Structure 1
Amino acid sequence: MDIVLPSYAELLLPTILCFIFLLYLHGRRTPPGKLTNWPIVGMLPGLAVNLHRLHDFATDILGPSGCTFLFLGPWFSGMKLLVTCDPANINHIFNVNFHNYPKGPEFSENFDIFGDGIFNADHESWSRQRKKAQLLITQPRFLAFVTLCSRDKVDNFLLPLLRQLSEQNKIVDLQDVFLRFSFDITCMLVFGIDPASLSPDFTTVPFAKAIDEAMAAILHRHAVPPPWWKLMRRLKLGREKKLADAWCVINDFIAESIKKRKQDSNLAVADSLNDSLLTAYINDDSAADDSFLRDTTLSLMIAGRDTIGVALAWFFYLLCKNPDKEAKLVEELRHGGSEEPVYLQAALCEALRLYPPVPFESKGVVEAESLPSGQRVEPGTQILFSIYTMARMEGVWGKDCSEFRPERWITEQGRVRHEPAYKFMSFNCGPRTCLGKGLAFVELREVVMAVAREFRMEIVEGHVVEPKLSIILQMRNGLKVRVMRREP
């Protein structure tokens, strides 16, 4: 009788799996703030065990390490990340030596769905796109269009929906409500189309769902060695398959929008829809390439839709958890007269500090140098900035850093305190500071003033609120609340 010996591959696979399983068990017993650099697999097992709580895990690591930590992935994987939340490093990289730290090719490949849009662009391409976007966004006609769209959506859609939910005593996902609200407004501002996703039946909009799938897949790319996700992309497996499918839905929606807007432009359709950014880009350059329009409008869509909706969700979550702060806010909104709502602005800044809609940034390195924190960076190193973690560093924001305390933003003279952008990074910093920062605050104030005056939210007992694993800081389980009318 012949004896068939197992092949080398058959022996190797169980060995590798057993080794990984042992590392996983070890990782579960490793105390917070510790990462073991294993032979061959590097620090990946510790990351894998904590991937579900990535942002808080970064806080556990960066606190004891002095705000900067070098993460090493498996050998030969090219996974080498310098993770930091040190304001001195951020100021140096985003301001002082800006040109030495571009987005870089690794960033562009991670975010390949944005094409050559402003998110991925560097150097001359970035400068040209930024100037053009700034010119269009600051036009009085567009600013008036923003105000018109925001007030219409608040008065005729958001408030009636909340009143209906209050009367029916229904449990609702408030994050979903705000994401639909900001999605509708951003579609109107960018494409001149109202998808009407903010409706009592909460219909699923494929374009919005596709954006969520894409953002989750992109974050996953940052947590695994590049060769792994690139292989999955080539084979269209797992999250990369979801990303590919989402990409098709996104492309189809934008292509149809561009086609329709160009037809309207050719027919000289004169209505309020022509105030959209897509129309402005087409009118500015009638020969604009569809690929450029696609990449530009997608970047604008992500910048407006996700960030506003998520910021509103975390803001009202913090009000629910801090009734004393909520009472101060409502008092100001109801009895503040014609004065500028200082406490409202302070509360918005504080919510954005604790829960920045974009919780991290990344940069490449052109020339080797030492950072203010002392670490040496070289070409090939990817630098990751944890904005979420910076808010939770006592050395940056004080011993009460983890508390929701709008008062930290109010000066002795009763005005809103200014904090440098490299410390308050919710709108980026330096030359790449968000162009829509002013518009964002206008929209946030418009919603909060209308909603907080009339309603209070009550979080459903037992509902767990925690960050979702995504590029945008959404809540993993949403924000389940009951909407209650305030006393007149």
Structure 2
Amino acid sequence: MFLTSYPLTLLQTLVLALISYTTYRLYTHLRLASAHRHLAASKGCKSPPNWRQSPFLFGLDIFYNSYKDMKAHCSLENTRTRFWALGANTVQMKLTGATLFSTIEPENVKSVRATDFKNWGLGEGRKLMLVPFIGEGIFTSDGAAWQHSRDMLRPSFVRNSVGDCDIFERHVQNLIKAIPRDGEMVDLQPLFLSLSLDVATEFLFGESTNSLSADDVDAETKEYARAIDHILKVLGGQEQGGLTFIGLMMGLFPPNWTLKGEYKVVHNYVDGFIDRAVVDKRRYELEKVILDDKPELPGRRYIFLHELLDRTTDRLKIRSELLNILLAGRDSTAALLSNMWFELSKRPAAWARLQQEVSALDGALPTFGQLKEMKYLRAFLNESLRLYPILPENNRTAQVDTVLPLGGGADGKSPILVKKGQIVLWSIHIMHRRKDIYGEDAEEFRPERWLDTEQGQGLRVGWEYLPFNGGPRICIGQQFALTEASYVTVRLMQEFNAIESKDPEPWREMFTVTCQGLGGCKIVLTP
């Protein structure tokens, strides 16, 4: 009797377990749905317009269009065209069953980045893409871990060293030597990448890669530069499939394991700097003990890595923070300079006006204070960052049920319910081109819009202008990047009298982790 009843009892147990699980899931779903309806009603939430997509393809048509646009280097422009066609500043779309919101509304971005900051996180996609590469640091962590990174790094970017222009001059000299003086065309974009790498490594490590100087660069540095370029092209969808970047950002695809060898090259290279810095720090501390802090011992010049060693002995943490800052310092500044000089080469009147401003230095090297006084130079930088933001799109994932203040309903004035786990993406590229914010000439490159005139004040903006993001996670290195771009521009204009563009095509996007021009910056400079 036992043998015949046992299978029936087991089957009953399984059926009961299935019923219990199904009942629990249904109860949880109904309870959440009720909570969502209550929250939406209490806040007056309404749904935003739907993105134009096939209702039968579960968002696969969006991925396909994104893939085509990225391969054709027209993702930003095509997304902008679709946004304008919808006539809405916030839309929703369905991706493989999940709801995603896309917005170009400054108040929504302000909510995510500032007023509702604690309710939003990076999401798994960003971490999948970047943590294997640069580790858990200021750009790849949330919550307490992010706050710890921020608190540890911020003092290094408010010191006088950020305004110390001496760190740039030697590398600018190498840049000047690399530019032909006989009328031959040069592409400044790869030179700016090398320059920003050389400056960033000297600031961070106390030793420069010297990649602009063919006599000084070694095989290890060349291999490091090759590896990091390859990694960024793969993660940005420029190599081995254009969906890599999109999929990782949304947390849909696993990381590309073929890059593990390249990651090791980068990690080993940075570890070498850390090893040497540890030895240098011990030697310096020993000398202090021997000399008993007498005046005979010169103070160490400021080095970012030495400051990190004073704050933590965790080697992995140090390497991760260095790589986080290095990635931003190298690519962001190079992209800013490249985009800026692309426009400058096509604008003789702007070149003449900048030359006039620079001539006030009478050939002397510019100081930090003098750079800040150059109003047209700053206006040109602002306009470059407006039309060509370095990070043109960004996103965050809701950590709890929350709301966006605008975008719902037919008029777009009602709040929007965002459920836990849903993603909000915003396009700075499109927001910076809104005619209701920047005027009918919003798509034109016009630095003068930032200048005060007799007719009135220049452009004053808040959350409508976000080249360095905003809120608690505003870029801590923005002043360093602006100072470097300003210094390099002034020094090149002191060295060369005329510029000519050799690229007749309009600017087109090239995504890696940041965004720069596909065609580079091909020009001729006259001494």
Normalised TM-score (structure 2): 0.75
Deviations 1:172-230 (A, max 9, x none): 22101111111100010011121111136897833233333333333343423767631
1:250 aligns with 2:266: yes
Partner of 2:333: 308
1:383 aligns with 2:399: no
Shift of 1:306: 0.9
Alignment of 1:159-308 (within 5 A): 159-162=176-179, 165-167=180-182, 169-199=183-213, 205-220=222-237, 221-224=244-247, 229-230=253-254, 233=256, 236=257, 241=258, 243-268=259-284, 275-285=302-312, 288-308=313-333
Partner of 1:107: 126
Partner of 2:499: 457
What SS does the corresponding residue of 1:117 show, helix, strand or coil? Answer: coil
1:368 aligns with 2:401: yes
Partner of 1:19: none
Partner of 1:3: none
Deviations 1:422-460 (A, max 9, x none): 211111101111112222222111111111243243232
Shift of 1:315: 0.6
* Structure with the larger RCO, 1 or 2 (CA within 8 Å, 6+ apart): 2
1:320 aligns with 2:345: yes
* CA gap 1:202/1:191 in 2 versus in 1, 3 angstroms: closer
Partner of 2:442: 401
1:67 aligns with 2:67: no
What is the distance in 1 between the residues matched to 2:304 and 2:122? Answer: 25
Match of 1:152 among 146, 166, 170: 170
Shift of 1:160: 3.1
1:438 aligns with 2:479: yes
Choose 408-417 or 368-377, whichever is displaced more. 408-417
Partner of 1:39: 57
Shift of 1:359: 1.7
Unaligned runs of 5+ residues in structure 2 are: 1-50, 238-243, 288-296, 363-369, 409-415
What is the distance in 1 between the residues matched to 2:276 and 2:185? Answer: 38
What is the distance in 2 between the residues matched to 1:426 and 1:37? Answer: 35
Match of 2:142 among 105, 110, 122: 122
Shift of 1:365: 0.4
**Are the aligned partners of 1:63 and 1:393 in contact in 2 as well (CA < 8 Å)?**
no
Match of 2:155 among 135, 140, 153: 135
Partner of 2:378: 345
**Are the aligned partners of 1:42 and 1:74 in contact in 2 as well (CA < 8 Å)?**
no
What is the distance in 2 between the residues matched to 1:451 and 1:37? Answer: 54
The alignment covers a number of residue pairs equal to: 434
Shift of 1:132: 1.8
Shift of 1:37: 4.5
* CA gap 1:166/1:35 in 2 versus in 1, 3 angstroms: farther
**Are the aligned partners of 1:161 and 1:200 in contact in 2 as well (CA < 8 Å)?**
no
**Are the aligned partners of 1:421 and 1:429 in contact in 2 as well (CA < 8 Å)?**
no
What is the distance in 1 between the residues matched to 2:216 and 2:147? Answer: 40
What is the distance in 2 between the residues matched to 1:187 and 1:272? Answer: 20
Shift of 1:479: 2.0
Choose 243-252 or 402-411, whichever is displaced more. 243-252
Partner of 1:469: 511
Q: Percent identity?
A: 23
* CA gap 1:353/1:382 in 2 versus in 1, 3 angstroms: same
Unaligned runs of 5+ residues in structure 1 are: 1-32
Shift of 1:350: 0.6
**Are the aligned partners of 2:390 and 2:514 in contact in 1 as well (CA < 8 Å)?**
yes
**Are the aligned partners of 1:42 and 1:72 in contact in 2 as well (CA < 8 Å)?**
no
**Are the aligned partners of 1:54 and 1:469 in contact in 2 as well (CA < 8 Å)?**
no
Shift of 1:157: 1.6
What SS does the corresponding residue of 1:373 show, helix, strand or coil? Answer: strand
What is the distance in 2 between the residues matched to 1:293 and 1:416? Answer: 45
**Are the aligned partners of 1:37 and 1:43 in contact in 2 as well (CA < 8 Å)?**
no
What is the distance in 1 between the residues matched to 2:79 and 2:274? Answer: 41
Partner of 2:29: none
Equivalent position amino acid for 2:309 in 1: I
What is the distance in 2 between the residues matched to 1:114 and 1:398? Answer: 40
Shift of 1:253: 0.8
Shift of 1:62: 2.3
1:332 aligns with 2:357: yes
* CA gap 1:368/1:219 in 2 versus in 1, 3 angstroms: farther
What is the distance in 1 between the residues matched to 2:460 and 2:475? Answer: 16
Partner of 1:7: none
Alignment of 1:78-93 (within 5 A): 80-93=99-112
* CA gap 1:335/1:383 in 2 versus in 1, 3 angstroms: same
Shift of 1:34: 5.2
